Structure 1
Amino acid sequence: MQTGSQVPSGQAPLLAVSTIKDSPDHVRRYVEGNLAGGVDHLVVFLDAPSDDEQDEVLALLTEHPRVSVVRAGGAWWGGQRPRELNVRQCINANVTRRVLADLGLGRGWLLHVDGDEVVRVDREALARVPEETLALRLAVREAVSSSTWTEQPTAFKAELDDRDLALLHGLGVIDEPSNQVWIRGHVMGKSAVRIEADRWLTLHKVAREDRGHEPGLEDDAWLVHHYESYSLEDFCRKWTAMVASGPRAAYRAERRQVARTLRDLISRGLEPEALRRQLERFYRMQVEEDLETLRDLGVVTEVDPLVPLEGAPVAPGAVPVADLEAALEEWRGRAKTEEEFFRGTSPAGPGAAGDGAGRGRRRGLLGGRGR
C-alpha cells in the first residue's frame, strides 16, 4: 500500500472522526457544517448500519469525496462488540489515528466529534500552533433551545462568568448560578490530537498512557458548536432514540435526574399521542429557553456554523483517501481491545481519570479576547 507524503506542519491536514447513528438530515448537516468549518476530511463509522434510514445515510456519505465511511456493525469488531457507545467511539477514533499515522499524516490533527456537533477552526491560527503542541481543546458553544426555530439554530451560548450567572439566576432564567446548569450538554468541549503523538482520544480529552490528560491549547479560533436538544422536535427525537439504544449512558450529576425521568416516561408504554404530550410538557417546563430574554441580556452569540469559513482546505491530495479507506478496511474483523485503544472512562467500570485536567490556554492567536 502506498502511504501519503508528509505535509509541512503549516499545511498539516485536519481530519475529524465520528461514530454515529442519526437521520439523513442530521448527517447532512454534520458533513456540510464540519467541512465548511475548516475540516479537510471526515472519517465516519456507522454504528448500526442495518438500522432504519442507515442505507440512505451510507449512500449520502459514500457519495461525498471528502468523507470516508466504515460500516461498523458486528462484523467490524471481530469479536465482542463493546456494549457502551462511548467505548466504541473512542476505539474507532484511536484506530483511525493509528491508520493516519501509518499513512504519513503524523503532523496533522485528528478531532473527535459527535454527529450533533459542528466545529469551526480558523486554519491560519491552526498553522501558527507551536510544533511541540500535542493537543487542542475546542470550547463548546451550545445552541439555544427554542420551539421558535423553523430552520437550524443561529443563537449559541458559551460558558459565562460569575457576574452573568448571578444575573441570570436572579432573574429566574436558570435555577442555579452555575455553568453546569446554564449549559445543558457537555461543558468540556472537544479535543484534537497531533496524529503522530503517542496519545489517545477520549470523548472530550486527549489521554496519556497513564490516563492523565494532555493539556489542550485553547483559542477562540477553534470552537465546537453543539446542537443539543435545540428544538422540541429534536428533544423528542434525541431522548426517544437514547432510551431505545439500550445501555444507560453516563451523565454528569446535573443531568442524572432528567435522564432518569425521561427514561421512566419513555419506557412506560404510553400511547404515542400521550407520550408526545408528556414529552412536550417536560420540554416546555424544563428545557425550552427564553430566546428573546437571552438576546436582550446579551448572553448569546449570533452565528450560523453552517456558513463556510474563508480559506480553502489543505491542498488536494494531502489526505490519500483511497489508501485511508483501504487501511481502515484492513481492521475489519480484527480484535480492537480496550487495553490497546481505550483510555477513557466506561460507565460499566470505575473512571480512571477525572475532569480536572490542566488547561493550556493561549489567548489571542487571532488577537481575540478569551471568554
Structure 2
Amino acid sequence: MTLRGQILRGQLVTGGRLLSDGVVEISGDRVVWAGPASQRTDPLPERAAAGTTIIPGLVDVHCHGAGGFGFPEADEFGSTVAADHHRTNGTTSVIGSLVSAPPQILRSRIELLAGLVDEGTLAGIHLEGPFLSVLRCGAQDPDSILDGDPALLESLLEAGRGHIRSMTIAPETAHFDELASLLERHGAVVSIGHTDASNPIATRSIAHSAHAPLSATHLFNGMAPMHHRAPGAVAACLAAAAKGQMVVELVGDGVHLADETVATVFDLVGPHQIALVSDAMAAAGMPDGRYPLGPLDVDVVGGVARLAGQGETAIAGGTSRLMDIVRRAVNHAGVDLLSAVIAATATPASLMGLAGMVGDLVPGCRADLIVTGPELETRAVMAAGNWLMNYTES
C-alpha cells in the first residue's frame, strides 16, 4: 500500500464490502471518504502490493487485560498499559471487563475504569458477574458469586456513571427479569453466560430481552455442553442468533473453541450475529508464567491460562489479542476475510451502541484502521488519525 498524506489505497473493507482496490481518506481524526479507487478523479497513490488490506480498527467487547496487567486488579497505570497494548495490536476500541468480586471492590474497580473511559483509554466497561452460576463459574471466584440483587446492581451502575455497556448474567439467577430491565434502562447490554440454565429457562430469558441489544458471553464456554436430549443455553443462544435476536461472542483462539466450531457458528448465524472477542487477561502478549485474574492466580503454560495449582481446570481467560483471533478465523477456521472482519468490528460496535463512531471505515467514523499483509500480519495501526505503528511497504 502507498500513503500520500492521509490518503490510503489498497484492498479495503468499508461499509460491509471488500473492495479489491479501495481508497480511504483521513482528515484529522475522521474518515472523510471511502470507496472504490475508480470513483476518484484526483491523482491517487499507486495500487497496493498484492495481499495488502486496510481494515477498520477492531472492537473487543470482552477483554480483561494484557501486557502483564488486568483491569480487575491493576491500578490506573497498569490498566492504561493493558489498553495501550491492545490498541497498538489493532484493537482500537476496548471494553474493559471485570470479574466477580465483593461489592465494595467491584465499585472501586468500576470507578477507576470509568475514569479511563472519560479519558478515552477505554470504550466502556463490561461486568462479568457477580450474578452467575457457581456450577459454571469457570475461573471466577465462587465465593464472590451472588444471587441477583437489583439494589446492588443499581449501585454498580451509579458507580459506572453511564459507562457500563454490558453485563454477564446467568438466566437462572434470582430476579433475572428485574436485573435485565434495569440494565436496559441504563443502556447496558444483557449478556447471558456462566450459566447452567436449561433450554426453557435460557429461551425465556432471551425472549424477555429480545427487544433490546442482547448477547451471549463466550458461547459454549461457561455453559453446559449441548446434548441432543438436553440442548441447554447453547442451543437457545444459537437459535436466537439465527433469528437475529442475539449476538454470540466467540473466543476463537484455538483454545476456548475448536476452529471447526468457529466455522460452524459462522455458517449457522453469519457475521452480523457474531462478536469475535479475545477474553484476554494480563498474560496476553506476555511469556508463560503466573498472572492475576481478579482475586485468583492463573498459570499460563504453552499460552493456555488455567487457575494456579488446580491442574487441567477451566480455562482462565485468553492470551491472544483480537487480531490474532481474526487471523486464526481466516487462516485456520476458513472464515472468509470480510465475515471475520465484520465480526470483530461492525457487529461488536453496533452491539455496544457505537455504530457510526467506530467499527467501520465510512465518512464520519473515527479514523481507526489496521494495515495488514498477505497473511493478515499487522503492518501498521492508526487510532483517531494517528499512526501507532509506522508503515513501511515491503
TM-score under structure 2 normalisation? 0.28
Of structures 1 and 2, the one with the larger relative CO (CA 8 A, separation 6+) is: 1
The structure with more helix, counted as a fraction of residues: 1
